[in-house]
Amino acid sequence: MGILNVTPDSFANPTSLRDPADAVAAALRMEADGADLIDVGGESTRPGADPVAADEELARVLPVLKALHGRIRIPLSIDTYKADVARAAIAAGAVIVNDVSGLSRDPGLARAVAETGAALVLMHSRGSSKTMYAEAHYENVIGDVTSELQDALRTGAAAGLAPERVIVDPGVGFAKRPSHSYGVLACLPAIAAALDRPILVGPSRKSFLREALGNRPAAERDWGTAAAVTAAVLAGAHIVRVHAVAEMVQVVRVAEEIRRHG
């Protein structure tokens, strides 16, 4: 899953893709580089980021989604936790909603996704972008993450979401200290077994990598990302969400072969 952030404050992209033409060109490059799907985001979810109104978020993502319609062959995902944004994005061509809040921010999102027939990624997190680290306290990080994702799955089912349309994401880097994120990656098979849903993992360029790499800027964390992506694939992840598509496609293909021969 290639990351296409059309925000002015993406933590990991050295250049902004606010211009729809630039964003479309970037998406087409990702497809050519081997991406299987692309996740379009109009609100930064980095720690400390300010929330964005739905109207502003739509103004950022809709021109890109509409411009890609008919030009790109791989599925498009919309990275949002807002029901109104999700509905409009699906109408413009998105077929997946990637909800970093795990259905905790907008009570109407699950129903909106269920009614449109789109797929939904439920990510584990706590609080908002500004408060998530204050809530990074766990009795047992694997047990707590699993339990809270199970609660989100039940919320989705109650809103009419078919289980086969739901993917889960343990939320590496969200409301987690570095030790929590590494623990989640190390114990991914246990999380997957307990949830029995396809797993998405998004370690790309995140700050938890600094625990091992030192204080490198986000754009210089691709080698560390490659290690985390390899671990995720070997542990059974079905989707990895990345910035450097061409490089990570090679990483994933080799890791897949190792897993297949195991």
Written as one string, the DSSP assignment of 60-77 is HHHHHHHHHTTT--S-EE
* Percent of the chain's residues with pLDDT above 90: 89
Q: Which of 68, 5, 4, 1 is nearest to 36 (CA)?
A: 1
* Percent of the chain's residues with pLDDT above 70: 97
Report the alpha-carbon angle 204-135-4, nearest 5: 25
pLDDT value at 9 more than 80: no
* Class of residue 30 by CB neighbours under 10 A (exposed 0-12, middle 13-18, buried 19+): buried
Each residue of 235-248: pLDDT tens digit? 999 999 999 999 99
Count of structural domains within the chain: 1
Q: How confident is the model at residue 10 (pLDDT cuts 50, 70, 90)?
A: low
Mean pLDDT of 6-25: 76
Q: What is the pLDDT of residue 129?
A: 82
CATH number at residue 45: 3.20.20.20
Question: Which residues have a catalytic role annotated?
Answer: 206, 241
Q: What is the pLDDT of residue 46?
A: 78
Domain range for 90 is 2-261
Q: What's this model's pTM, rounded to 2 decimal places?
A: 0.95
